[in-house]
Amino acid sequence: MIKVAVTELEYGKASHIFKSAAGFKCFCAPAPEAELAAFVKTNHISYVIVGIDKYLGPLYDALPRNGVIARFGVGHDGIDKTLATAAGIYCTNTPGVLDNSVAECAMGLLLTAARHLAVCAADNKNSCWKNRVGMELAGKTLAVIGCGNIGRKVARIAKSGFGMNVIGSDIITPADNGPFDAFTCDFTEAVKNADFVSLHIPETAATRDFINSRRLAMLKNTACLINTARGGILDENALHDAVKNGKIGGAVLDVFKTEPYFPQSSDKDLRLLEKVIMTPHLGSSTLEACERMARAALDNIKLCAEGKIENMNIV
For the chain, give every domain's residue range.
Answer: 2-97+286-311, 99-278
Residue 219: burial class (beta carbons within 10 Å; 0-12, 13-18, 19+) = buried
Instruction: Say if residue 39's pLDDT is above 90.
Output: yes
Q: Which is the catalytic residue, given 71, 152, 230, 240?
A: 230
pLDDT band of residue 141 (cuts 50, 70, 90) is very high
Q: What's the pLDDT band for 176 if we cut at 50, 70, 90?
A: confident
- DSSP annotation of 314 reads B
Residue 233 DSSP one-character state: G
Is residue 215 part of the annotated active site? The answer reads no
Instruction: Report yes or no: 114 and 134 within 8 Å, Cβ to Cβ.
Output: yes
3-state secondary structure of 196: strand
Residue 123 confidence (pLDDT) above 90: yes
User: Does 75 score more than 90 pLDDT?
Assistant: no
Is a pLDDT exceeding 90 seen at residue 110? Answer: yes
Measured distance CA(299)–CA(295) in Å, rounded: 6
More confident residue, 272 or 77: 272
- Percent of residues, the chain, with pLDDT higher than 90: 96
Q: Is 230 a catalytic residue?
A: yes
Same fold flag, 2-97+286-311 and 99-278: yes
Catalytic option among 71, 116, 200, 281: 281
Residue 77 has pLDDT above 90, yes or no: no
Q: 240 burial class (0-12, 13-18, 19+ CB within 10 angstroms)?
A: buried
CATH classification number, 2-97+286-311, choose in 3.50.50.60, 3.40.50.2000, 3.40.50.150, 3.40.50.720: 3.40.50.720
Report d(CA 215, CA 206) in Å as an integer: 15
Whether the pLDDT of residue 30 is over 90: the answer is yes
Q: How confident is the model at residue 280 (pLDDT cuts 50, 70, 90)?
A: very high
Cα-to-chain-centroid distance, residue 240: 20
Q: Which of 136, 259, 274, 288 is catalytic?
A: 259
Residue 313 predicted with pLDDT over 90:
yes
Q: For the residues 156-185, what does the mean pLDDT come to?
A: 95
Question: Mean pLDDT for the chain?
Answer: 96
- Strand segments (E) across the chain: 2-7, 24-29, 47-50, 68-71, 90-92, 141-145, 165-169, 182-184, 196-199, 224-227, 250-253, 276-278
| Residue 240 annotated as catalytic | no
CATH architecture, domain defined by 99-278: 3-Layer(aba) Sandwich (3.40)
Q: Is 167 helix (H, G, I), strand (E, B) or coil?
A: strand
